[in-house]
Chain A
């Protein structure tokens, strides 16, 4: 899986609690992404990072924040989880230079989050 791990792999939490998901890579890729995947919607980008401490919003960023303090880790935080955030979350990485100009993203195994 291209040296990408996500933790936890499964989590059940209650509405209103904070949740942090972690993505860790060993590929030294510059770009990192957080997606959510829901039936009928496919993969939707939440936030992405283009370097340490450099992040930007995706199409469904409301209710989520991210941080990247070092190249290998990208954290996704739900400040106050809601039932609408029940989903499968995927982290991905890419690097145009390391991949010789190719723009593909490589995905982690996913985290299944259930908010009750």
Chain B
């Protein structure tokens, strides 16, 4: 697969543990945020999104937290499984719907040890 993991921050966890992946953003005007998962050899896959009028959103086994004060986003994965091993990256958007471009972070490589 593609070597998208080079030079990335890495996080290694044991199967069954909870994982927390962090992302800092720089644009204070950003009002929409997304987490993507990218497995080796595949395209990025949407996981969960959150708007700036929220500070927490939950999905299936995942929770996204948004701290606008320090411009920080985190993705929590509960009971991490081997299938969660991938590169995770955040994306931000500003413009209230009139700007369709996303700005992507560099990503974090998550490795789940059985």
User: B-contacting residues of A (Cβ < 8 Å)?
Assistant: 1, 4, 31, 37, 39-43, 45, 48, 50, 58, 88, 90, 94, 96, 101-110, 112
Given contacts A103-B49, A104-B34, A112-B2, 6 further A-B contacts (CB under 8 A): A31-B100, A39-B5, A40-B6, A90-B43, A103-B100, A110-B2
Which listed residue (A40, A101, A104) contacts B46, Cβ 8 A?
Answer: A104
B106 at the interface (CB under 8 A from A): yes
Residues of chain A contacted by B6 (CB below 8 angstroms):
39-40
Cβ distance B96 to chain A, nearest Cβ, rounded Å: 10
A102-B44 contact, Cβ under 8 Å, with A31-B100, A42-B107: no
A37-B2, A90-B43, A104-B46 given as contacts; is B102 within 8 A of A42 (CB)? no
Instruction: Say whether, besides A39-B4, A110-B43, A112-B2, A105 and B102 are in contact (CB < 8 Å).
Output: yes
Residue in chain A with minimal CB distance to B105: A42
List the B side residues contacting A50 at CB < 8 Å.
Answer: 100
Residue B69 interfacial (CB < 8 Å): no
Contacts of B102 in A (CB 8 A): 103, 105
Q: How many residues of B contact A (CB 8 A)?
A: 26
- Report chain A residues within 8 Å CB of B101: 45, 48, 58
Query: Which residue in chain B gives the minimum CB-CB distance to A6?
Result: B43
Q: Which residue of the partner chain B has the closest CB to A94?
A: B100
A102→B45 CA distance, assembly (Å)? 15
Chosen A-B contacts, 17 in total, with CB atoms closer than 8 Å, are: A31-B100, A37-B4, A42-B105, A43-B104, A45-B101, A88-B2, A90-B44, A96-B97, A96-B100, A101-B97, A103-B32, A103-B49, A103-B100, A105-B91, A105-B102, A107-B44, A110-B2
Q: Quick check: B34 and A42 within 8 Å, CB to CB?
A: no
Among A37, A40, A104, find the residue whose CB has the most chain B CB atoms closer than 10 A. Answer: A104
Interface residues of B in 52-89 (CB under 8 A from A): 89
The CA-CA distance from A18 to B104 in the complex, in Å, is 29
B contact residues around A37 at 8 Å (CB): 2, 4
The 3 A-B pairs at the shortest CB distance, nearest first, are namely A107-B43, A39-B6, A40-B7
Q: Would you give the shortest CB distance from B74 to chain A, in whole angstroms?
A: 18
